[in-house]
Amino acid sequence: MKKLTMTLVLLMMLFSSFLITAEGVQEQAMAPAAVQQEQAKYVILLIGDGMSTAQIAAAEAYLGAQRGVMTSPMSFQSFTAQGLTTTYASDRFITDSAAAGTAIATGSKTYCGAISVDESGTPLKTLVEYAQDLDLATGIVSTTRITHATPAVFASHNVSRNEENDIAADMADSGVDYIAGGGYRNFIGADRGLKTKRTDGVDLISEMERQGYRSFVSESMTDTFRSWNPRAGEKVVALMGASHLDYAIDEAHQPTLAELTAKGIDLLSKDKDGFFLMVEGGRIDHACHANDGMTSIGDTLAFDEAVQVAAAFYQQHPNETLVVVTGDHETGGLTLGFAGTKYESAYGMLGDQSISYENYTYGEFAAYKAAHTVQDAAVTDLIPSLESNFGLYDMSESEIALLQSALERSLGGEVVKSTFADDYLLYGGYEPFVMEVTHILNRRAGLGWTSYSHTAVPIATFAIGQGSDAFMGYYDNTDIFTNISAIMGVDTL
């Protein structure tokens, strides 16, 4: 009897799995014939560097706290297609932006540090180059130096992400119609009275102007850029900072990511064949490397404003547009919850921070360091500044003690790039005192960090418009290329 039951059970299991596979196979067989690949004339790809679900959720929780609700979703949360994406590189499970960017831009895995080349250094064709084959207008935008890894993989090829002068030269010859962001120092010569990293006497901006580009160089041209009305067929290079653009929280006199995106769409949409535009919120990553939660939130919200600009264009051209929002990897091991605050969270208090760790390090704190020694430096001197810049009131004895030992590290000539393992765990190679400040504020709010580097947790991808269904599910970052190229009508074979 017992044996009979077992046989019956086994048969039922076999029958049910057959059903699933039969169903699957059936489905498989049908799919290729039935579905006509939806095409898009306009493609906007927005990448939050270092942005995964934690960075998104932190920004939403902060916005919610500001509005008196539990959470307030980003605009792209309402996109119809959502998926999770793996990010590993060919030589490391935890990727860098160069390998991840190359995977998204070319569909190929490569080594960390590679700019759209394979392991042998052979260039890999990018979405921008495929778009140019289709006579689409093209654009790249970033809040980082435009020669930094993510924008670089779309418009240049190099065996090393560090060769930014060569990457700039590649970009100058790339034919890309709209190049906007930071990083004029890798393009300009020495006779402009501005900071330059070029020593070869070449001024790539002048060369691009000879090619017909209109140029906007440095913060001093921000108002000119804002009043510029794009005309069809114009080619533009707009580099509004020597290096990376400032963090949103620091409110510098520079165009925002949303403004750079809006001008780009305005210009490129005048092309009769359509366009491909890549927009990067590049400094979410930098803020998370430094474990500065509020600065990361500020740049994530600024990124969302750029997404809203793209979504508004989609609303005007729903049958011809694809908008994709993704990240290249997670940074910092950010999590919404911290041992010290157990089940509690208080993201609203982050709103009292009005400056980034970067501007505080190189501004007020640098001035304090210059005027003091390890013998006469005291946390009490800095309390007014911590209250006004970070909202750090009523500090406990243990918080003061942590700050005092960090201050001694900072003033004691313990150079930032400390070799002491303990120091690295505490301060991640950043200014010890400032790291302790943001750590205390983040812990009070209930934010936790596990690293000063990238992590390998999957990132979230969102899409709306033509062919967006392809972005549902669990897939790899190389599939983002495969989907976008198919929807753009590229024949990659």
| List of residues contacting Zn ion (CB under 5 A) | 285
Q: Which is nearer to Zn ion, 247 or 390 (CB)?
A: 247
Alpha helix (H) ranges present in 68-189? 97-106, 127-133, 149-155, 164-172
- Separation between Cα atoms, residue 34 and residue 439, nearest integer Å: 55
What minimum distance in Å lies between the beta carbon of 491 and Zn ion? 34
Q: Which is nearer to Zn ion, 41 or 289 (CB)?
A: 289
- Separation between Cα atoms, residue 312 and residue 293, nearest integer Å: 28
Q: Which is nearer to Zn ion, 288 or 403 (CB)?
A: 288
Q: Which is nearer to Zn ion, 259 or 285 (CB)?
A: 285
Q: Name the β-bridge partners of 473.
A: 83
- Separation between Cα atoms, residue 20 and residue 480, nearest integer Å: 28
What minimum distance in Å lies between the beta carbon of 149 and Zn ion? 8
Enumerate residues 6+ apart whose C-beta is below 8 A from 210: none
Q: Chain centroid to CA 317: how far? A: 26
What minimum distance in Å lies between the beta carbon of 331 and Zn ion? 5
What minimum distance in Å lies between the beta carbon of 96 and Zn ion? 7
What minimum distance in Å lies between the beta carbon of 36 and Zn ion? 39
- Separation between Cα atoms, residue 277 and residue 245, nearest integer Å: 19
Q: Which is nearer to Zn ion, 285 or 304 (CB)?
A: 285
Q: Which is nearer to Zn ion, 386 or 435 (CB)?
A: 435
Q: Which helix (H) or strand (E) holds 180?
A: strand 178-182
What minimum distance in Å lies between the beta carbon of 126 and Zn ion? 20
- Separation between Cα atoms, residue 472 and residue 469, nearest integer Å: 6
Q: Which is nearer to Zn ion, 50 or 255 (CB)?
A: 50
- Separation between Cα atoms, residue 197 and residue 239, nearest integer Å: 14
Tokens encoding 326: 């993704």
DSSP per-residue codes, 295-317: HHHHHHHHHHHHHHHHHHHHHHS
What minimum distance in Å lies between the beta carbon of 340 and Zn ion? 26
Question: Which of 264, 308, 244 lies closest to 49, judged by CA?
Answer: 244
- Separation between Cα atoms, residue 58 and residue 261, nearest integer Å: 24
Q: Which is nearer to Zn ion, 280 or 285 (CB)?
A: 285
Check: CB of residue 53 under 8 Å from CB of residue 87.
no
What minimum distance in Å lies between the beta carbon of 167 and Zn ion? 17
What minimum distance in Å lies between the beta carbon of 49 and Zn ion? 7
- Separation between Cα atoms, residue 433 and residue 430, nearest integer Å: 9
Enumerate residues 6+ apart whose C-beta is below 8 A from 165: 147, 186, 197, 198, 200
Residue type, 67: R
Q: Which is nearer to Zn ion, 96 or 304 (CB)?
A: 96
Between CA 280 and CA 181, with CA 211 as vertex, the angle to 5 degrees is 20
What minimum distance in Å lies between the beta carbon of 459 and Zn ion? 13
Check: CB of residue 177 under 8 Å from CB of residue 162.
no
Q: Which is nearer to Zn ion, 213 or 430 (CB)?
A: 430
Which residue's beta carbon is nearest to the bound Zn ion?
285
